[in-house]
Structure 1
Amino acid sequence: MKSLKLAAAILGLFATTAPAALSQGWEFSMNPGPRWDSPTTSDYFKFRGRAYFDIADVDWSSPLSAAPGDDEEWRTLWFGIEGQIGNLKLVAEYDWLPDDPAPTDVHLTYRLPEGSVRVGNFKTMNSMEEQTSSLNMSFMERGLLTDIFGIDRRLGAAYFWSSDNFTASAGIYGGKMEDNFQLAEADDSSAFAGRLTWHTETDAGTTLHLGASFRSLDYDGGTRLRDRPQAHLANNFATADYRTGQPLGEADSSDLIALEAAIIRGPFWAHGEFARMTLDGPAGDPAFDSGFASLGYILTGETRGYRGSSGVFGGISPNSALSAGGHGAWEIAARADYADMGDAGLGTIETLTLGINWYVERYARVMFNYVSGEHDAPTYTETSDVAQLRLQVGF
């Protein structure tokens, strides 16, 4: 799967068809970004993007590394396009960070009589936490397990299906997409992944969600298991290095199994996940566990969104936005994370995150997180305490 020539051809067809469609009297709006909608069909074309600016005060203690020097950064600068013509939908978006530009979602989805097929660059379907858009997360960073186990975007093809209560998806993937505008792989790794979810809404208005996913991944040159303690401006905690030539041995492949559960009842929500990844190649086939439990409450009475067709959290839209003379929406949240790195001789990682979110508008918010983390290895201890603030806009 060195390149997706078919996807590139369809992208070209879409690019030549969309301008013609826009000239057929489509209606323009700012919602909140530029958008054009067909007056007679569900076809549309829009620009999409998001920008996150973070400020942090990091109190770092480690015998392995000095305290980080940066205290502010542009965490995300995404910009791209999205559109639909008939049964074909396009998403093409890049992160335009000056020092680290990279593709994010670049894919085509074709709607079938039952389900849909997607080709391009997109995430393997693992973890509700990872599948939920960062625009709709209640914390500045995702749970430990998503980064430690390397749940990421890859070039691939997948099938998605949903009914009133269930979703199912499965896909086959090659390597990660190169940091350019070509649908080409950066390495020779490959993966197969799948996810199944169930949800229901009770008569009392409570939404329940359960899910499970798996991933089988073949590496090209091994892998590393590492993560920052829920703060991107902090350093990495433990690194279990299973790349070529390292003392721990080279990882040839891995198998990941993950479980997820969530509940939404009025302004209250709770969410938990557990995952285990086993490596093949290093002596003893080491296995690693990680999980988290989180909960939140929206003080102004709104309800956190849920998208049953994909089994993910939606956003929070304030009942009284600042632009309408209101106070926006206010949310408090907490999360506890745990990771067992014992099979690499690195002990455990524990973090506690406390958050306050102010949803100024539907597409703008201010986030504050306090994160206390500890890596307790057999021969040393690392700690990190971070107070961080994010200014976020997205459309």
Structure 2
Amino acid sequence: MNIKSSLIACVSLAALLPINAIAQTITDEDLGALIKRINQLEQEVRSLRSELDSVGSKQVGSKQVGLAQKEQKQDQNKGVIVIKDDSDDEPSVSFNWKGAPEIKGDGGWSVKPKGRVLYDFNNLSSVPSSLDIPGEGLSSEARRLRFGIQGTMPGSFGYKLIADYLDGVKLTDAYFTYEDGPLTLTLGQHNTFQGLEELSSSNDTSFVERAAYTDAFGFERRVGLSATYQLNDFLLEGGVFTDNIDDLDDGNNSFSVDGRVSYTTVIDDTFIHLGSSVHVRDLGNEIDSIRYRQRPFVHSVNTRFINTDDISGATDELSYGLEAAAIAGRFHVVAETHWAHVARSEFADPTFFGGSIEAGYYLTQDTREYKGGVFKGVKVNDPVSNGGTGAWQINFRFDRLDLVDAGIVGGAQDAYMASLIWTPVNEVRFLFNYAHLSYTDALNIVEGAPNDFSVNVIGLRGQLGF
């Protein structure tokens, strides 16, 4: 029997003695001494019990030495969860939520799902209403349905792989990057530095569709190698490219050199952006097949009201543009122009023009975001998830596209546009878009349409992007 058991037995026996017997054999003085001794024994029992419990804990703890000890900490301000293994120095892993889970590990590894779902409802009506133009009436479509991943790898490398699933599986972005301070190298399919709005994500544009010249002049992602370099307030971008990855199987072998330079500064709390771009392209096997055309600011209408058709004898393409933007609190203004010059072997060389000017204002306490030479999505100051109203923005734009020159009559389009955008939370937007489009020199481009006519377009978009 151990000490702890003996002491407990003695105390229990004393407690069971008949009280009358104790009273007959023990005097008052002896009784007081006995009670005092019992109290001392009780204290010793408690002390021994505490020591034995401590010994037991150490024995249990000794069995866990060498096992992984996981600790989980959450930063309430950033929403970052960190899981760390202290016993064997395995790397920690952090989970962050920005519309989708972003996972980061020590050594430079990270991965984040990327995606966007854009669904449009549109209505086109002709002016005068007696015209019977293809595409009139209500239409709707899933404008974009893109999913993929992006992240980083050890050694300052990164990657991005995004595909659109609307019509089969088509790669939009597929490239690797390498960063070294202000220098970033990119290899694969990516944008070719065409201009401010084209390089800005479709998740963040002010209208349902970008300026008319961006699609008309064939701006798209291509396979190539490029470099960007941040030199103080200047951002230098340039690269060499071939065709879009979906066109490589067709035997196309165009080759282009593309570049852009932009400058940013702040004057009296107003952010200023100035930029220009140039693109020189040998059309290769695309000779005689280049053409410029555009839909009426809604993609679900397949009719092109402005169209050069195939340009005979085209061998090379030179395009260049200018861009300027300013952000002052809740107000922003942006203007872009672009020219496309086509060199032809036997005919005069046409030069076409496109451009737009836009002004916008947030009705709420929000501002348009800008980073790395492009516009970014708004960071909602008072989201509905916190009981707020979200971000409300109004925009106005004049847009012109002129495809008439050197004997080519592709028509001219002037668009007067307005939009209302509600962003309830950072990753969700709803856009209401109105446009009045006026066409000139458009005879026979669309069967049944006169030389000069107009259309009204109403568009509504629901959007989720992360």
- Separation (CA, whole Å) in 1 of partners of 2:208 and 2:299: 9
Report the Cα offset of residue 369 of structure 1: 0.2
- Separation (CA, whole Å) in 2 of partners of 1:30 and 1:317: 15
Partner residue in 1 for 2:100:
33
Q: Secondary structure at the match of 2:215?
A: helix
Which residue type is aligned with residue 194 of structure 1?
G
- Separation (CA, whole Å) in 2 of partners of 1:100 and 1:70: 25
Moved more, 106-115 or 131-140: 106-115
Q: Secondary structure at the match of 2:295?
A: coil
Report the Cα offset of residue 43 of structure 1: 4.1
Find the structure with the greater CA-based Rg: 2
Which of 171, 175, 178 is 1:107 aligned to? Answer: 175
Q: Confirm or deny that 1:231 pairs with 2:298.
A: yes
Report the Cα offset of residue 41 of structure 1: 5.9
- Separation (CA, whole Å) in 2 of partners of 1:189 and 1:65: 36
1:1-395 alignment, distance < 5 Å: 24-38=91-105, 40=106, 43-60=109-126, 65-68=133-136, 71-86=139-154, 87-97=156-166, 99=167, 101-178=169-246, 187-202=252-267, 204-219=268-283, 220-221=285-286, 222-234=289-301, 235-242=303-310, 248-281=311-344, 283-307=347-371, 310-343=372-405, 344-377=408-441, 379=443, 380-395=451-466
Which residue type is aligned with residue 262 of structure 1?
A
Report the Cα offset of residue 123 of structure 1: 1.1
Which residue type is aligned with residue 89 of structure 1?
G
* Contact 2:149/2:160 (<8 A) preserved: yes
- Separation (CA, whole Å) in 2 of partners of 1:387 and 1:50: 22
- Return the structure number with greater helix share: 2
Report the Cα offset of residue 339 of structure 1: 1.5
- Separation (CA, whole Å) in 2 of partners of 1:42 and 1:293: 42
* Contact 2:259/2:279 (<8 A) preserved: yes
Which residue type is aligned with residue 227 of structure 1?
Q
* Contact 2:123/2:136 (<8 A) preserved: no
* Contact 1:155/1:185 (<8 A) preserved: no
* Contact 2:161/2:174 (<8 A) preserved: yes
Q: Please report the TM-score for the alignment, with normalisation by the length of structure 2.
A: 0.73
Moved more, 339-348 or 276-285: 339-348
Which residue type is aligned with residue 250 of structure 1?
G
- Separation (CA, whole Å) in 2 of partners of 1:325 and 1:391: 21
Q: Secondary structure at the match of 2:203?
A: helix
Cα shift readout 1:132-167 (whole Å, capped 9, x = no counterpart):
111111111100111111111110000111133110
Which residue type is aligned with residue 358 of structure 2?
S
Q: Please report the TM-score for the alignment, with normalisation by the length of structure 1.
A: 0.86
Cα shift readout 1:70-127 (whole Å, capped 9, x = no counterpart):
6111000000000102310100000111x35421111111113441111000111111
Moved over 3 A (4+): 40-43, 60-65, 183-186
Q: Secondary structure at the match of 1:146?
A: helix
Cα shift readout 1:215-240 (whole Å, capped 9, x = no counterpart):
01122323110011221123212211
Q: Secondary structure at the match of 1:145?
A: helix
Report the Cα offset of residue 384 of structure 1: 2.2
Report the Cα offset of residue 352 of structure 1: 1.4
CA distance 1:382–1:24, shift in 2 (3 Å): farther
Partner residue in 2 for 1:245:
none
* Contact 1:177/1:185 (<8 A) preserved: no
Identity %: 30
Cα shift readout 1:271-311 (whole Å, capped 9, x = no counterpart):
0011111101161101101111001000102111111xx31
What is the alpha-carbon root mean square deviation over aligned residues? Answer: 2.1
Moved more, 352-361 or 342-351: 342-351
Report the Cα offset of residue 57 of structure 1: 1.3
Q: Secondary structure at the match of 1:178?
A: helix
Q: Secondary structure at the match of 2:214?
A: helix
Unaligned 5+ segments in structure 1 are 1-22, 243-247
CA distance 1:113–1:304, shift in 2 (3 Å): closer
Moved more, 260-269 or 107-116: 107-116
* Contact 1:176/1:185 (<8 A) preserved: no
Which residue type is aligned with residue 381 of structure 1?
D
- Separation (CA, whole Å) in 2 of partners of 1:114 and 1:137: 27
- Separation (CA, whole Å) in 2 of partners of 1:42 and 1:266: 36
Which residue type is aligned with residue 435 of structure 2?
V
* Contact 2:313/2:347 (<8 A) preserved: no
* Contact 2:123/2:137 (<8 A) preserved: no
Report the Cα offset of residue 187 of structure 1: 2.2
Unaligned 5+ segments in structure 2 are 1-89, 444-450
Q: Secondary structure at the match of 2:279?
A: strand
